[in-house]
């Protein structure tokens, strides 16, 4: 079983719609959670950290459910520029801050 699992998609969504996807993790000792965004042929870039209480950044909302071991990302009023692959990342807090990466969910926003 993979440590971090994501639906690979692609999710094809019309512009302006709301889209949400989840990521499950297997290790209950996981302590930090992130969503990264990766554009085609580019490097991953941090989109947002995911806090226990949930957090929002503009049109983006991230939630953590420790009991069920998943994190979610919600995008409201989707834009064409939101088309990308979204990577779920989990870490165990140690001095070296290693990250465990999901394979990503591909999102395509259609006009």
Partner 1 sequence: DVKVTQSSRYLVKRTGEKVFLECVQDMDHENMFWYRQDPGLGLRLIYFSYDVKMKEKGDIPEGYSVSREKKERFSLILESASTNQTSMYLCASSTPTDTQYFGPGTRLTVL
As measured in angstroms, the least distance from the Cβ of 41 to partner 1 is 8
As measured in angstroms, the least distance from the Cβ of 100 to partner 1 is 8
Binding site for partner 1 (CB under 8 A): 2, 4, 8, 34, 41-46, 49, 87, 89, 95-104
**Structure tokens given for 35:** 């969503």
As measured in angstroms, the least distance from the Cβ of 103 to partner 1 is 4
Determine the Cα–Cα distance for residues 53 and 62; give it in Å rounded to an integer. Answer: 9
Q: CA dist 95 to 24, 98, 107, Å?
A: 24, 9, 34
């Amino acid at each position: 079983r993979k440590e971090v699992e994501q639906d690979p998609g692609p999710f094809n969504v019309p512009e302006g719609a709301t889209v949400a996807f989840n990521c499950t993790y297997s290790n209950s000792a996981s302590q930090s959670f992130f969503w990264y965004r990766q554009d085609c042929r580019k490097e991953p870039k941090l989109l947002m950290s995911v806090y226990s209480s949930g957090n929002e950044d503009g049109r983006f909302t991230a939630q953590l459910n420790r009991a069920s071991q998943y994190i979610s990302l919600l995008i409201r009023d989707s834009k064409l520029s939101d088309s990308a692959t979204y990577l779920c990342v989990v870490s165990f807090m140690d001095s070296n801050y290693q990250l465990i990466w999901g394979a990503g969910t591909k999102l395509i926003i259609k006009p």
